[in-house]
Amino acid sequence: MREIKAQTLCREAFRPYGDFMDLLHVKQIEAKPEANNVFAPDLVTLHLDGRMPASACVARVSECERIITALEYHQFTCEGILPLDGDIDIFVGPSSFRVDPATVEAFRVPQGTFVKLNPGVLHGRQFVVNTPAVNVLVLLPERTFGNDCTFTMLEGEDRIRILP
């Protein structure tokens, strides 16, 4: 039987096989330690089928007032959400391709649970549950926020508080 020893992961040795990134220590996020919701899009792309590449994005969400102030949806694409190091609350509304705050519901997502949102589903930032901050992996087609994102700010009575 052949035996091999695991090497330290470094770019030079791993380059023939692909690439890697520490998604828990992203410089764009670490540069804003005071922010309660920082999003770093398109950190690593994956060409899965020759069309639009998938993109690994990271959001760091921290303790804040649990009020939904904005909604978004993607007309053509799904979105994947995976809390890496803590539980989060997400909010969603039916896939109607229109903004109706009255349809929004909230769900608790345990650490390590992958959530797929269908096209058209209302959603937005995540909220931490029992930890000061959570890193969240977000999977989207590359450049989704530039070419398939309808974003609406909520004002006054349309805003929604998520109870703990």
Ordered per-residue pLDDT tens for the chain, 164 residues: 989 899 999 999 999 999 999 998 999 888 998 899 999 999 998 888 777 889 999 999 999 999 999 999 999 999 999 999 999 999 999 987 778 899 999 999 999 999 999 999 999 999 999 999 999 999 998 888 888 999 999 999 999 999 98
Query: Is residue 41 packed enough to be buried (19+ CB in 10 Å), middle (13-18) or exposed (0-12)?
Result: middle
Enter the pTM of the model. Answer: 0.88
CATH of domain 11-161: 2.60.120.480
* Beta-carbon contacts of residue 15 (< 8 Å; ≥ 6 apart): none
Tell me if 112 sits within 8 A of 102, measured CB to CB. no
In the chain, where the domains are located = 11-161
Q: Quote the CA–CA distance of 61 and 38 in Å, as a whole number.
A: 7
Q: H or E stretch including 29?
A: helix 27-30
Query: Is residue 158 packed enough to be buried (19+ CB in 10 Å), middle (13-18) or exposed (0-12)?
Result: middle
